[in-house]
Structure 1
């Protein structure tokens, strides 16, 4: 089969012929239809410091996907050949304290699909049946392909109650844009999102952001946005999606007393924040990683069934043979989510 492989410990990816993945009694073999390109995949392609630490070559990349079940192991009961499925890309041990308590997203032994084991940038992928999500309701294939990052957005946005709240999102990457759409759909009063890319801010407006601020411009800042919206005490909920020190500091400065911050953005290095302000304003900061298995997946499906539209965040689609062009677009500041089509 064809697959996108990190064949060598150097920048680049290779489209290669590799054996179809094996599957055991508790596994599912999936014919891949569409995949989404993630920031993780971009890091591995460029072979930066994180990728050199996290990935052993050769490795088939990819963890955002939708496909059709091609075969199931003898012990699989709830997944059938022909089912349309996506996959939870965090494979957990099932035996640690958190796993046994039903908190699988907190497993300390998590292995990432497409990072620690061969992934879904291929014509077929194998997963444990426990990691397979069957789409019982009708869903757009491109949207189904990005359930993984959609789950990050939902997990972050729904960490705190949103009905009637004023929400600040720092970082208008694809997950930040999806989080803005989720927040509005879930009942937030105002959703303000910041970034330095006019293209991505325009996508955020289409997704439902009340205000989309270019913080590289001196024309209007977050405090100005508060005045424009008539906010007197600051934002109730913050969703930090950028991993940028200045974004986190701006967020802390603009939260109301007792405000709550969910932090998904992963910083490149340590940075300082004003902890005295966090303490004296009684601000809650919660770290977010991945999705709650599988509560977030239920929430995603219900949000889509309730009319949430994610299509504005998808800005490009390529056949897998054109992966270099797809990755180039995904790495620009002009794109939303980019899809690779494997159905051919």
Structure 2
């Protein structure tokens, strides 16, 4: 397929982006061209858009960014047999080598040579995106485009919450950004006895209640350590999911966990974090697990089934829809924290 398409271009050396016409990607023998129906904004996209220190070190503009999407297969490479034109799909965004030790031993989500769609390659804030065929996930018939576009971040939430025993667990979600909000819904669906949502943003704490939180704690008003202790009878949370990346929140996550409990960390602090390992991890016998991406493709199957069967109610997390040309509105809302998930429609 030839011609031009609308796309959001990240320009070098400055904040922001521009919507412009660029060539439709040409696909190789093992690639798939997808007509994008919906693309959601991720925190990573916000870092790139605002051109912070991480973005300056990681990405190489000019290029099309964005990595969470759903769409319809428009064309397939000559060696592709897993999907066909017209299939509705999303995609795993970690492009892995398949040859390193983690890949060869069933741990592709921690591939030593991972590249990320829309970070290290051309992305999906466009009318079309090309993806390796092995990264394609076929969506169930009838799944709404906007819900299908947030399966990748929902996969992060599922991976974070379900990497330990959740049923019956007193669970704290620290940080109620969009993925933290999704984690609230996942924990509730997985049978957590309590789901305590912690943040400073009242807008998102209200969303957390809609997602199933049994209790919310505003760090602007209360001491989360005291409140979690009181809510759990003095024992602490069996499972703490750290989604904020703030150094204080990370230290508090370790302290609020029950002896013998688990702390799952999805967040990405900008700088090294100082912790009291002796008292807050070793003597408490904590299991601390870093979470990256989604298990390929175990997590995708969990996400798809949870959505398709409506086992989790994720719709409240999608708060805004904009056209691709209105991207500035979406990024402004993300910066201000006055939104859940923002979906762009090319």
TM-score, structure 2 normalization: 0.96
| Correspondence 1:280 to 2:280 | no
Structure 2 counterpart of 1:204 = 208
Partner of 1:131: 135
Of 297, 305, 310, the residue aligned with 2:308 is: 305
Q: Secondary structure at the match of 2:28?
A: coil
Aligned to 1:37: 41
Residue deviations 1:162-198 (CA, integer Å, cap 9, x gap): 0111001110100001001000001110010100000
Aligned mates of 1:9, 1:65 — CA distance in 2: 26
Tell me whether 1:22 sits opposite 2:26 in the alignment: yes
Q: Runs (4+) of structure 1 moved beyond 4 Å?
A: none
CA contact (8 A) 2:12 2:60 kept: no
Distance 1:69 1:7 in 2: 28
2:23 alignment partner, SS class: coil
Contact 1:86 1:132 in 2 (8 A): yes
Structure 1 position 230, deviation (Å)? 4.9
Match of 1:240 in 2: 242
Paired residues of 1:21 and 1:124 also in contact (CA < 8 A): yes
Which residue matches 1:190?
A: 194
Aligned residues: 340
Where does residue 85 of structure 1 map in the other structure? Answer: 89
Residue 117, structure 1, aligned to residue 121, structure 2: yes
Distance 2:227 2:11 in 1: 50
**Counterparts in 2 of 1:139-154, with a 5 A limit?**
139-154=143-158
Residue-by-residue CA offset, 1:114-150 (whole Å, 9 max, x unaligned):
1111000011000111000000343221111111111
Distance across 2 between alignment mates of 1:230 and 1:130: 44
Alignment partners' CA distance in 1, 2:225 and 2:147: 31
Distance 1:135 1:122 in 2: 20
2:294 to 291, 294, 304: 291
Q: Which runs of 5+ in 2 are unaligned?
A: none
2:323 to 315, 319, 325: 319
Question: Separation in 2 of the partners of 1:154 and 1:138?
Answer: 22
* Partner residue in 2 for 1:341: 345
Deviation, structure 1 residue 8: 2.5
Q: Bigger CA drift: 150-159 or 306-315? A: 306-315
Q: Give the Cα separation in 2 of the matches to 1:109 and 1:252.
A: 30
Distance 2:239 2:188 in 1: 13
The alignment's C-alpha RMSD in Å is 1.2
Quick one: distance in 1 between partners of 2:106 and 2:146? 30
* Equivalent pair of 1:59/1:115 in contact (CA under 8 Å): no
CA contact (8 A) 2:70 2:88 kept: yes
Q: Which runs of 5+ in 1 are unaligned?
A: none
Matching residue within 151, 160, 163 for 1:159: 163
Q: In terms of mean alpha carbon deviation, does 229-238 or 176-185 score higher?
A: 229-238
SS of structure 1 residue aligned to 2:165? coil
Residue pair 2:151, 2:304 contacting (<8 A) in 1 also:
no
Question: TM-score w.r.t. structure 1 length?
Answer: 0.96
Q: Is 1:76 the counterpart of 2:85 in the alignment?
A: no
Asked whether the 8 Å contact 1:238–1:255 carries over to 2, the reply is: yes
Q: Which residue of 2 aligns with 1:250?
A: 252
CA distance in 2, matches of 1:85, 1:173: 25
Q: C-alpha separation between the residues in 2 aligned to 1:324 and 1:37? A: 11
1:95-132: per-residue Cα shift (whole Å, max 9, x none)?
11111222111111111111111000011000111000
